[in-house]
Every structure is written in C-alpha cells, then in structure tokens.
Amino acid sequence: MSADVLCSVRNLIVEYSTRAGAVRAVDNVSLDIRRGEILGLVGESGCGKSTLGKALMRLHTGAARITQGELWFDGRDLMKLSEREMPDVRGAEIGMVFQDPMTSLNPVQRIMDHLTETMRTHEPEVSEAAARGRANELVERLGIRRERLHEYPHQMSGGMRQRVMISLALALRAKLVIADEPTTSLDVIVEAKFLDLLKELQKEFGLTILLITHNIGVVAEVADRVAVMYAAKMAEVGDVREVFADPKHPYTQGLLRSVPNIALDGAELYKMEGAPPNLLHPPVGCRFAPRCPHVMDVCRRQEPSFDPVGEGDHLAACWLFNEAAVAREKSHA
C-alpha cells in the first residue's frame, strides 16, 4: 500500500484562532492519496474539507495554523520545509483549482501572462518564447483557442476560466491537483464537460486529483475512491463503488440516502436529523453520535478509531464495527 501512495496525511490538525477560542477545522485527520487516482473528498459545508485541501499545500495564512501532523508528499515531509522552500512545491508539484473561477485569476493580467509566468517562476531557464509555445499547446489541448490567450480573465466564461486554472496546474506538470469545488459555480452542462476533461487529463498526464466537493453525484461520476468528512474528522474512506454500494458509517449512509433520486417518485426525501456540531465545543466521543440512528453508549463517551471495515482498504470511524464494543453494548441491554 505504501509504494503507490503519492501524498500521505498523518494526524493533521488545523486550527483557526477566533475570539471565542481555537477551532479545529481539521482534527487529527489521516488520509492517503494514491498516485494516479481521483480521490473525492465529500462532506457538508464547514466540515473542514477545503481547509484540509489547502493544508496539503500549507496555504494557510492569518488565523489558520497547522498545529500538528505530517504531510508526506512524494517521499518528503512538507511540514519540515521552510516557508521559503514551499513556493517551489506549490504549483510545480501540487496545483490547485479554486471554487470560483470568476475571482481566481488576476483581473489585470492576460491569460498568456498567467501561464508563462507560472512556468518561468519555477523554470527560470525557459525562454519567454518557449513558454508561450508551451502555453499555446496546452490551452489547445484544453479546448481554448490560441487567440483567446491574449484576453483578460473577465473576457472569458466561467468554464473557460476553470480550464485555464487547470492549465496552470498542468503547465508545470504538477503531480497532484487539488480541485476545491471546481464545478460548484458552473452550470450542469459545463460541469459535465469539465468533469470529462478532468478524467481525460488524469489519464493522459497521469495526474493525481483530490476532488473536493459536496456533490455526491460528481464523486460517483469521476472518482476512484471517496473520503467522507464529518465535523473536522474523517468518517469513512474507501473505493467509490464499495462505499456507495455498502456505506459503513451511519453518516455516509444518511448522506447517500439524502441524494435526490428519480426513483423516489414523489416520496419524501430522507432528511438527516439535527445539525453538525459547533466545532468550538465538539461533543465528547463520536461527533456524529447526537444525530446517529444507531447510537450506543460508548459513542457518547469515547471517540471511535479509524479502522478497516469490510474488504480492501475500506476504512471507517464507527463503534458499530468494533465487535467488542457492540458485544458490550448488547450485554448492557
């Protein structure tokens, strides 16, 4: 399992300091991203999935801070790099596509300059002309006409800008692309095209993609594996088909049941009871316990560990799969 892992997050904690106190947006999360896969990271708003994505590049500034953990990327621990060394990793090895394509490009810079500058930042020996040539090839591959490279971001549509963002990641052959809700602000048709493109590029360039989204459908469509986050914790990780066919964590089960479905045929859509906990004062024990339909005593007392469940690399953090705990619960009852 270790050889094909590109990026490995170990016990990562990211804290936001607020007036009310420190909030752990990512709490003791471990995650492996394998070389060449598309890993979907799902969860509801505020569960810490974007924070985790940014933490992979150590992009946090200001109130957010990584307080603990290891970030192994391609054989080295990014946490050990200094702030001066990080820019060499960013862009060159890990690229990022942001949620809102309307604001993620510099409004006063032409698209061409975005691309050539990215290349020349990391490879100063590349001539301006060579960089332009590469930019031309790249955007043509992404379905943008060469002429449009000389335009400003505002002259392009959302879908095009998102393709430009991808091309920025591809320009340097980044090994890992973190796509933070890349299709959220696109309409359905553009979204479908963009996802197709993402899959094609992944095959063609051997990209590894971390696809952060709250859209289960998108994950089902393109991801190889899926990771589910709940209230700053990792709830479940596994192969997409397996997790969707046989979700282990009650939160994943609820999440999958609450996806609108044509087969529903007018019946009421499943609604999970309650709301996610306040991360300033997270509940003791399992964070999903207050909303869990299968809650046990142990869930309210002790936090479950993140253990293999079922076949393969299917992992979940739930007491239901700890036989000893379940047995103890039954004996109590």
CA distance 86 to 92: 10
Q: What is the spatial order of strands in the sheet that 64-73 belongs to?
A: 21-34, 5-18, 64-73, 76-77
Contact between 181 and 214 (Cβ < 8 Å): yes
118 near another protein, rule: CB under 8 A: yes
Of 74, 100, 224, 329, the one binding another protein (CB under 8 A) is 100
52 near another protein, rule: CB under 8 A: no
* Rounded least distance, CB 178 to another protein, Å: 8
Stretch that binds another protein, among 26-34, 167-175, 205-213, 293-301 (CB under 8 A): 167-175
Residue 172 or 234: the one with the smaller Cβ distance to another protein is 172
Element (H, E) at 16: strand 5-18
Give me the residues paired with residue 217 across strands.
none
Q: Which letter does DSSP use for residue 184 in this model?
A: T
103 near another protein, rule: CB under 8 A: yes
CA distance 218 to 228: 14
Residue 124 or 274: the one with the smaller Cβ distance to another protein is 124
Stretch that binds another protein, among 93-101, 218-226, 228-236, 261-269 (CB under 8 A): 93-101
Of 26, 96, 234, 272, the one binding another protein (CB under 8 A) is 96
* Rounded least distance, CB 248 to another protein, Å: 34
How many CA atoms does the CB half-sphere of 292 hold within 13 Å? 24
121 near another protein, rule: CB under 8 A: yes
Residue 59 or 192: the one with the smaller Cβ distance to another protein is 59
CA distance 33 to 226: 10
Of 26, 29, 47, 160, the one binding another protein (CB under 8 A) is 160
* Rounded least distance, CB 138 to another protein, Å: 14
Q: Where are the alpha helices (DSSP H) in the chain?
A: 49-55, 86-89, 111-122, 128-141, 158-171, 188-205, 216-222, 240-245, 250-257, 297-301, 323-332
Residue 108 or 263: the one with the smaller Cβ distance to another protein is 108
* Rounded least distance, CB 103 to another protein, Å: 4
Tokens of 274: 């309650």
156 near another protein, rule: CB under 8 A: yes
| List of residues 6+ apart from 95 with CB closer than 8 A | 168, 169, 170, 172, 174, 176, 177, 178
Contact between 14 and 64 (Cβ < 8 Å): yes
157 near another protein, rule: CB under 8 A: yes
* Rounded least distance, CB 197 to another protein, Å: 18
* Rounded least distance, CB 157 to another protein, Å: 4
CA distance 287 to 303: 8
Residue 87 or 312: the one with the smaller Cβ distance to another protein is 87
Residue 29 or 174: the one with the smaller Cβ distance to another protein is 174
Contact between 100 and 180 (Cβ < 8 Å): no
Stretch that binds another protein, among 131-139, 155-163, 265-273, 285-293 (CB under 8 A): 155-163
41 near another protein, rule: CB under 8 A: no
90 near another protein, rule: CB under 8 A: yes
Report the DSSP pairing between strands 225-230 and 38-42.
parallel
Write out the residues near another protein by the rule CB under 8 A: 57, 59, 87-92, 94-96, 98-100, 103-109, 117-118, 121-122, 147, 150-152, 154-157, 160, 165, 168-169, 172
